Chain A
Amino acid sequence: MGAALVLEIENLHVTVDGREILKGLTLAVNAGEVHAIMGPNGSGKSTLSYALAGRDGYAVTEGSMRLAGKDLIALTPEERATMGLFLAMQYPVEIPGVVTMTFLRTALNALKRARGEKEIDAAGFLKEVRAAAKTLNVSEEMLKRALNVGFSGGEKKRLEALQMAVLKPRLAILDETDSGLDIDALKLVAEGVNALRAPDRAFIVITHYQRLLDYIVPDKVHILAGGRIVREGGPELAKDLEARGYDAIVREAA
């Protein structure tokens, strides 16, 4: 095991509402890498992301998941976030009454506090957010609005990318970030992600389609089907999948 291993999942079994969705998933992600997880609907893609982030109701019944060598299973969602895990959600939640900017600052300072770092002052924070917001085309007006309330699909996803840029995770999971995005928004979000690529940061890009991977080029591609990784390869696997469809690839793997 090299020091560069960020995420290590072994034989992960996850049950939701009494139904086993992940059935022995194994995955290793090194620092600096981008991994794509592709799979048909119902294959367990979102379950994997929620199980990693620690959402209630996603019960790990067997196996392990470690972030930077530390077991995640017993940790709360906020503890996982403190360790540097970030989940860009497929359906960001609308929270009326919480101003986006206030939320961002509360989150950043919560992370800093939990890590024993000094909290960021208002001026420093503003500067940092503005820079990232500009890149992602997130307007000041959006930041003053209630969190995700009345945002278009594209705005929500750009805001997820902005949160990622501000919170600077060690491992970012993008759960179907491409769903509901037009091509311009997709490019923008992809540029945001690419700008964050760094030797000490890893990404898991979960997607149904190959399209996003034209803009965020992965180091490795994993095909998830029936709750397991059934095939692995380089970026060419995604292209192959696009050309031949899930059925053919999954059947070959079986």
Chain B
Amino acid sequence: MSAEAALATWLGDYRGNRIDLPGADDPRLAERRERAIALVESAGLPHRRLEEWKYSDLLHRLASEYEPATPWAGALVREGALADPFADIACNTLIFANGFFRADASSPPEGLTVTTLAESGVPDGALPALDAQLARADDAIGNLNLALARDGVFITVPAGFKAERPLHIVYLDPAASGARRARTVRSQIRLEEGAELTLIETYLGKGGAEDVTNAALDITLSERAVLSHVRVLSDGESATQIHSLNAALEKGARYAPTILNLGAGYCRTTMRLEMQGAGAHAEVTALAALGGREHNDLTTILRHAVPGTTAMQTVKSVLAGKSRGIYQGRVVVMPGANGTDSTQLAKSVLLSREAEADTKPELEILADDVKCAHGATIGALDPAALFYLRARGIPKAEALAMLVEAFLGDALGAIADEPLREAAAAALRARLAALEVTL
């Protein structure tokens, strides 16, 4: 299928189904969807000639017929390629099945406002983030998501509210069928002044078919709001997962996302962080443990817009088989944004000769007084460390597993909540045990 035909397929989904999309009778949303699809049509689908997509050929993944996913009312099992690692953690849980919210299986937390796109459309407070999306005219994936979103959840944490339990959103893939399906979900989380929340997201795909998930999450953190965010993703080897994570941080807000990719055929996460208020701090940790022909691309765009904002990005990949791990980290320091401190650290360990890691830092510094450090290493495990462990009697396979786990596990320290960290570590261990060292 040509690029034009691929684009026509997706535009056709919109044009053929727009009257059935949620909010079709709400001009606030319908008009924005129209603008979004017009932007997609003029930008075209992402292709490798675009610098931002040079490592991750998405066009191939989008270039075939699909069916829009439909709601699933059947039984739910909280597992996919992986069992839900957080099943035993006391959480308020929101369940999505096949890309649609399942109210009957969910337990929304008290004190938070939770509505869904399919059920209640878009609340007024969610419109600014949609307009911010429309302002990114080149972001075809984000705009396609806005145009086609079938469901999603809008969450508001009121000022000063400190959620006791984590909020866990689980995305399940229960409707195994031969057909290739597309799921489009767009959600928002807004934390008002001084609010605090731990958000967990678990994507548990089976990916028997060549399903495409296009998920966007818009995050708005008002002054002094604190969001800890753990995302674990696991899907089948033919699945395509495309994620947009857009966060805006006001004065003194803190955002700490930890993303674990524990296997998916193709996963692209585009993370945009807008540091808009002095003292805002972002702590990004992204880990991937891949094998087979799996492909993970993390592209971050971090904009320091005002003086005195800080960010730390730690990206680590363990790559076995013929897998590929990509990190493109762009840091933009706007004119006058003095006192910016933005660090990027990317490390990859290759467990086979055919695995590949690509790291591309991009710094665009338009202010004088800034600290922007970046470091990258790609290599095999430290032979001296391996010898040290073996010399103490630890068999080679076990020693290698220890080192791989240590390499990634070290970064899990970013998850402050201990039971949560342990659960994430256990999921990581299980995944690593399944990867083969062929060096």
Question: Is A92 an interface residue when CB atoms closer than 8 A count as contact?
Answer: yes
State in angstroms the CA–CA spacing of A110 and B402 once bound together. Answer: 13
> Out of A92, A95, A111, A146, which one reaches B393, CB within 8 Å?
A111
Chain A interface (Cβ within 8 Å of chain B)?
Answer: 53-56, 76-78, 80-82, 86-87, 89, 92-93, 95-98, 103, 106-108, 110-111, 114, 146, 163, 167
Closest CB of chain B to A109's CB: distance in Å? 9
- The answer to whether A95 and B394 touch across the interface, beta carbons within 8 angstroms, is no
- The answer to whether A110 and B393 touch across the interface, beta carbons within 8 angstroms, is yes
Chain B interface (Cβ within 8 Å of chain A)?
Answer: 382-385, 387-396, 398-399, 402-403, 405-410
Contacts of A56 in B (CB 8 A): 383, 387
State in angstroms the CA–CA spacing of A77 and B405 once bound together. Answer: 21
State in angstroms the CA–CA spacing of A245 and B407 once bound together. Answer: 46
- The answer to whether A55 and B387 touch across the interface, beta carbons within 8 angstroms, is yes
- The answer to whether B393 and A76 touch across the interface, beta carbons within 8 angstroms, is no
- The answer to whether B398 and A95 touch across the interface, beta carbons within 8 angstroms, is no
State in angstroms the CA–CA spacing of A93 and B405 once bound together. Answer: 17
A167 in contact with B392 given A96-B410, A97-B410 (CB within 8 Å): yes
Contacts of A93 in B (CB 8 A): 382, 384-385, 387-388
State in angstroms the CA–CA spacing of A167 and B396 once bound together. Answer: 18
- The answer to whether B393 and A114 touch across the interface, beta carbons within 8 angstroms, is yes
Contacts of A89 in B (CB 8 A): 388, 391
- The answer to whether A78 and B394 touch across the interface, beta carbons within 8 angstroms, is yes
State in angstroms the CA–CA spacing of A81 and B383 once bound together. Answer: 17
Contacts of B390 in A (CB 8 A): 54, 76-78, 81
- The answer to whether B406 and A98 touch across the interface, beta carbons within 8 angstroms, is yes
Closest to A88 in B: B391
- The answer to whether B396 and A78 touch across the interface, beta carbons within 8 angstroms, is yes
- The answer to whether B382 and A106 touch across the interface, beta carbons within 8 angstroms, is no
Closest CB of chain A to B201's CB: distance in Å? 25
- The answer to whether A106 and B394 touch across the interface, beta carbons within 8 angstroms, is yes
State in angstroms the CA–CA spacing of A53 and B386 once bound together. Answer: 13
Closest CB of chain A to B115's CB: distance in Å? 42
State in angstroms the CA–CA spacing of A226 and B306 once bound together. Answer: 65
State in angstroms the CA–CA spacing of A106 and B408 once bound together. Answer: 19
State in angstroms the CA–CA spacing of A54 and B383 once bound together. Answer: 13
- The answer to whether A110 and B398 touch across the interface, beta carbons within 8 angstroms, is yes
A97 in contact with B391 given A78-B396, A106-B398, A110-B398 (CB within 8 Å): no
- The answer to whether A163 and B387 touch across the interface, beta carbons within 8 angstroms, is no
Contacts of A96 in B (CB 8 A): 406-407, 410
Contacts of A97 in B (CB 8 A): 405-410
- The answer to whether A78 and B385 touch across the interface, beta carbons within 8 angstroms, is no
State in angstroms the CA–CA spacing of A89 and B402 once bound together. Answer: 20
- The answer to whether A78 and B403 touch across the interface, beta carbons within 8 angstroms, is no
A78 in contact with B382 given A55-B387, A95-B406 (CB within 8 Å): no
A87 in contact with B410 given A98-B402, A106-B398 (CB within 8 Å): no
Closest to A106 in B: B394
- The answer to whether B393 and A81 touch across the interface, beta carbons within 8 angstroms, is yes
State in angstroms the CA–CA spacing of A57 and B388 once bound together. Answer: 14
> Out of B396, B407, B408, which one reaches A76, CB within 8 Å?
B396
State in angstroms the CA–CA spacing of A76 and B392 once bound together. Answer: 11
> Out of A53, A103, A114, A146, which one reaches B391, CB within 8 Å?
A53
CB pairs A–B below 8 angstroms (26 shown): A54-B391, A56-B383, A76-B390, A78-B390, A78-B395, A80-B391, A81-B391, A81-B393, A89-B391, A93-B384, A93-B387, A95-B385, A95-B388, A95-B389, A97-B406, A97-B408, A97-B410, A98-B402, A103-B402, A106-B398, A107-B389, A107-B393, A108-B393, A110-B393, A110-B398, A114-B395
A77 in contact with B402 given A107-B392, A110-B394, A111-B393 (CB within 8 Å): no
- The answer to whether A92 and B387 touch across the interface, beta carbons within 8 angstroms, is no
Closest CB of chain A to B55's CB: distance in Å? 27
Closest to B405 in A: A97
Ranked 5 nearest A-B pairs via Cβ: A97-B406, A97-B410, A81-B393, A107-B392, A77-B390
Contacts of A107 in B (CB 8 A): 389, 392-394
